[in-house]
């Protein structure tokens, strides 16, 4: 294992460990620990992406931009005052950057069947979440369309390259979908004690896998 690979592995494990502390402190406290660990974990994942960027500069640059937007969204969503729209906007920009990253290494359309999982996601959002989203219906619909597109582009990239790192991108994309869906479900449909734990855990796994997909 080269020095760069060892550093990437160490930082990835450290990010996941700090992410676990963020999940724990979000559920159990203290709140001050959550305020430190939540953005710190994403910052370490951002460093992982920077270390891997020379491997695939075009993809890496877009993913770094996406992680930077996600870091801003992390900060906005953890603050005591409700900044859901501002946080949603940051993550919308992050998803747009990931779309650009995945599209840079794949055909513009790809196989039509690859759209099926994303269409099922949009159907679930349309039937279960949007009717309960109230004044947030339009922003949630736009975000749902963008994240479904991101997951689709990750899959078309993997189908084009058929490599281990692109498979990591697919897994990361759909974990991101699962994380955001659980957030929307808990906010608009039904609250459950396990949803925030699942949301944040799957979020960190998603981000590290997307970073490693460079």
The pLDDT confidence band at residue 106, using thresholds 50, 70 and 90, is confident
pLDDT tens, residue by residue, 4-32: 788 899 999 999 999 999 999 999 989 99
Contact 59, 104 (CB under 8 A): yes
State if pTM tops 0.85.
Answer: yes
pLDDT tens, residue by residue, 139-152: 999 999 999 999 99
CA 167, CA 49: separation in Å to the nearest integer?
A: 16
CA atoms lying within 13 Å on the CB side of residue 143: 26
Q: Which residues of 114-153 are buried (b: 16+ CB within 10 A; e: fewer)?
A: bbebbeebbeebeeebbeebeebeeebbebbebbbbbbbb
Rg of the chain taking only CA atoms, in angstroms = 17
């Amino acid at each position: 294992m080269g020095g760069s690979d060892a550093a990437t592995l160490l930082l990835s494990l450290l990010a996941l460990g700090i992410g676990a502390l963020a999940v724990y402190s979000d559920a159990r406290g203290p709140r001050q620990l959550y305020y430190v660990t939540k953005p710190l974990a994403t910052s370490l994942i951002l460093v992982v992406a920077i270390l891997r960027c020379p491997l695939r500069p075009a993809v890496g640059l877009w993913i770094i931009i996406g992680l930077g937007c996600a870091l801003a969204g992390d900060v906005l969503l953890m603050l005591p005052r409700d900044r859901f729209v501002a946080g949603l906007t940051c993550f919308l920009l992050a998803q747009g950057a990931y779309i650009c990253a995945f599209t840079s290494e794949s055909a513009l359309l790809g196989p039509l069947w690859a759209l099926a999982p994303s269409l099922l996601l949009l159907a679930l959002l349309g039937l279960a979440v949007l009717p309960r989203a109230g004044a947030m219906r339009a922003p949630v619909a736009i975000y749902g369309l963008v994240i479904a597109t991101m997951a689709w582009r990750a899959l078309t990239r993997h189908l084009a390259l058929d490599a281990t790192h692109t498979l990591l991108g697919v897994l990361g994309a759909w974990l991101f979908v699962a994380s955001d869906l659980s957030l929307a479900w808990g906010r608009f449909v039904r609250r459950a004690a396990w949803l925030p734990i699942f949301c944040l855990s799957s979020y960190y796994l998603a981000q590290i896998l997307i970073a490693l997909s460079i």
